[in-house]
Structure 1
Amino acid sequence: MKKQNVLNLIKYHVERNEIAFRNEAIEIAKSFDSVGDYELAEYIMGLITESNLYAPQASDFESDFLKTFDVSNLAPLNLPSEITEDVKGIINAVHHNIGINKFLFEGFPGSGKTEAAKHVARLLGRSLYYVNFDNLIDSKLGQTNKNIATVFSEINKIPYPEKTVILFDEIDVIALDRINNNDVREMGRVTSTILRELDRLTDLNKEIVIIATTNLYQNFDKALTRRFDAVINFNRYSKQDLIDIAEFIFSSFVKNFKNVSKDVRLFKKILNLSEDLPYPGELKNIIKTSLAFSDINNSFDYLKRLYSSLIGNLDKTTVKQLHKQGFTVREIEKLTGEPKSTVSRKLNEGE
């Protein structure tokens, strides 16, 4: 313990800053614990625990670098069964309470990594913090390193670590490959700092859960990968998985549009024809936009927009081509907006 700790305690007490006072007391307890004075450390933590009636919750702690996220009202999570089982495995691992608490989610943008992290916090009944990279990264040489050290210091001060999940969303922003010749030295040093702080966190805090996400796993520093207890691959969507998720998204949104006629069969037919369905994040945006941008006077216009987004420009697609793709006369009528008689005539004439 340093003199500054005592001064901080007095300052926070005078200011009636209960959260800061409590955090400082926890830091002092950890300081005594680190030098072997376990009894004093336990005594201090005991005093803190006894004051639980007036103690802040884990979610009451916030800073420039750590921000809370409300996980109480999340949308349902739609993941392939394989990924769902891995998420359940994370919950089990944390409940075993043996120090397996750091997880890396890797996969394409829109594959559900961030949403899965939110649901992990919800399922564990924990507060979720995310690291604010906007404030963390600094143009001044060496300042980013200092900010990262500060972040981990703050993580270690969070009250009730057993009730907390920390999310480093898109950690590849700061965790680059240190041996990559294209990497700048400064960011290489940043990665080294993260390695050191993660090791220190493992020694000091075995109850807090860390989740990091990355879209660039192939460029991820291998030494940093080894700091995580498990890597979960989110690139495991079959085409049927994506169709099922799209149907769920469509059914959730279409009920909000009074002038839209719901046609799930034709909706799924378009999805099946797409050679390369995007992942849920992008797919959700395409479905929402198709519905929102549709002509209010044409109840099936959203299907035309969906086709153009996933297969090709419908205005440049002939009736004959649509028929070859497996669409019926009635379905072509809905897609093009042309009367059934016109569609039949064009098919007879080979247009």
Structure 2
Amino acid sequence: MKKEDVLNLIKYHYEDKNREFKDQAITIARDFDRSGESQLAQYIMGLLSQSDRFVPQINDISENLTLIETNTDALPLPTTISNDLKGIINAVNHNIGINKFLFAGSPGTGKTESAKQITRLLGRKLLMVNFSDLVDSKLGQTSKNLNSLFKSINGMPFLNQYVFLFDEIDAIALDRINQNDIREMGRVTSTFLKSLDTLNPEVVMIATTNLFDELDKALVRRFDATINFDRYTDQDLLEVSESILNDYLKQFKGVTRDTRLFKKIMKSNTSKLLPGDLKNLIRTSLAFSDPDDPNDYLKRLLKGIHSGKSLNIEELYKLGFTVREIEVLTGISKSSVSRELSEGKS
């Protein structure tokens, strides 16, 4: 801690400059924390938190950071991706400077949810960057906003208590060569690159992108690891959908639990639905189902997975559904189903 910091603290107190006093106190706490005097740092922050005038809020540090609630529910992921996420947790806990991670993949593959789970498992809080507030139409202002954001992040006390999420960094870091306004995008991306180079080594950063191929390659190289979320096999998606169903069925009583039929429905359409789509489809099928019909959600699920189309008896039979299953899915008796199928063959 510098003598100047103490003098400034006293000065701001007597000049009744509350904001400056608080910022200076946080700076002192941060210096104590970095020098190994964590108890002193916590004592200072504790005093600030006990005062209505000096409660340290995240938005006081930067208006571009929002505290995000982390999940406690299990997140179904393929083993390949799950192992990579475990590796990230190990890397952070080893504390050797591996701290910047890029999650790449299509929308709905679980990138943001995975960031929440990692944060929870690390026992930290998740702060998300608000890009909508960062990007400005004024020439050069976005770069200034970025500089200010990273300065705030690097200067925060107790950085080992947070994970910083840069969700959909495509908003500010697309390939400079492919932009219409090369100069402005170049300035923004270059600012981002320099900010990553000077990032406090205590910061754990997760960035996500839906447009990996469009990102500036120099930016990609700044990350310690890139996790590809586009690695779901058909079997992976089937297992994910079953896990999602079992989780939601806990909230519904009196509905049919027919795992075999559920899997056949999910396999009946070869179009690959990603986890985000599967979650929405299963959730809405259950939510909209008739409480007096235990099979209604299966009927809705079948229709939803075929883009709203109602399949007839012959179509269901060709897809491999049995007479009993067709009865469940259509409400038509087995005898009538058998008769219609026999007539169709004659």
Pair in the same fold by TM > 0.5? yes
- TM-superposed CA distance for 1:52, in Å, is 2.0
Aligned to 1:270: 265
Query: After the TM superposition, which of the residue ranges 171-180 and 14-23 deviates more from structure 2?
Result: 14-23
**Residue 97 and residue 44 in structure 1: after superposition, are their counterparts in 2 closer, same or farther (change >3 A)?**
closer
- In structure 2, which of residues 126, 137, 152 is the aligned counterpart of residue 139 of structure 1? 137
- Superposed displacement of residue 185, structure 1: 3.3
Change (3 A) 1:46 1:323: closer
- Is it true that 1:253 corresponds to 2:256 in the alignment? no
Distance in 1 (alpha carbons) for counterparts of 2:317 and 2:36: 75
SS in 2 for 1:211: strand
**Corresponding residue for 1:78?**
76
Deviation of 1:214 after TM superposition, in Å, equals: 0.4
| Structure 2 match to 1:34 | none
How many residues align structurally? Answer: 331
Please give the per-residue CA displacement for 1:252-288, whole angstroms capped at 9, x wherever unaligned.
Answer: 1123233532222111111122212311111100111
Map 1:109-148; keep pairs closer than 5 Å. Answer: 109-148=107-146
- The answer to whether 1:52 aligns with 2:42 is yes
Distance 1:245 1:311, change over 3 A: same
In structure 2, which of residues 163, 172, 194 is the aligned counterpart of residue 165 of structure 1? Answer: 163
Any idea what SS the aligned residue of 1:174 has? helix
Q: Does 1:20 align with 2:23?
A: yes
Q: TM-score by structure 2 length?
A: 0.86
The one of 311, 327, 338 equivalent to 1:333 is 327
What TM-score do you get using the length of structure 1 for normalisation? 0.85
Question: Deviation digits for residues 19-53 of structure 1, max 9, x if unmatched?
Answer: 533334368x6xxxxxxxxxxxx799577752423
**What is the aligned partner in structure 1 of residue 344 from structure 2?**
350
For 2:155, the aligned partner's letter is: K
Letter in 2 for 1:292: A
1:251 Cα offset (Å): 1.4
Q: Which has the larger displacement, 306-315 or 266-275?
A: 306-315
Q: Which runs of 5+ in 2 are unaligned?
A: 50-55
Matched residue SS, 2:175: coil
The match for 2:222 among 219, 222, 227 is 227
CA 1:211 to 1:253, structure 2 compared with 1: closer, same or farther past 3 Å? same
Contact 1:172 1:216 in 2 (8 A): yes
Output aligned runs, 1:147-296, within 5 Å.
147-182=145-180, 184-201=182-199, 205-296=200-291
Counterparts in 2 of 1:194 and 1:181: CA distance versus 1, 3 Å: closer
CA RMSD after TM alignment: 2.8
Separation in structure 2 between the aligned mates of residue 9 and residue 48 of structure 1, nearest angstrom: 22
Instruction: State how far apart, in whole Å, the 2-side matches of 1:92 and 1:43 are.
Output: 23
Report the residue type matching 1:282 in the other structure: D
CA contact (8 A) 1:9 1:24 kept: no
Contact (CA 8 Å) 2:170, 2:210: kept in 1 or not? Answer: yes
Change (3 A) 1:104 1:336: same
1:190 partner SS: helix
Share of identical aligned residues, percent?
50
CA offset digits 1:143-193 (Å, max 9, x no partner): 211111111011011111222211101111111111114455323321111
Checking the alignment, whether the CA contact within 8 Å between 1:271 and 1:277 is kept in structure 2 is no
**AA at the equivalent of 2:58:** F
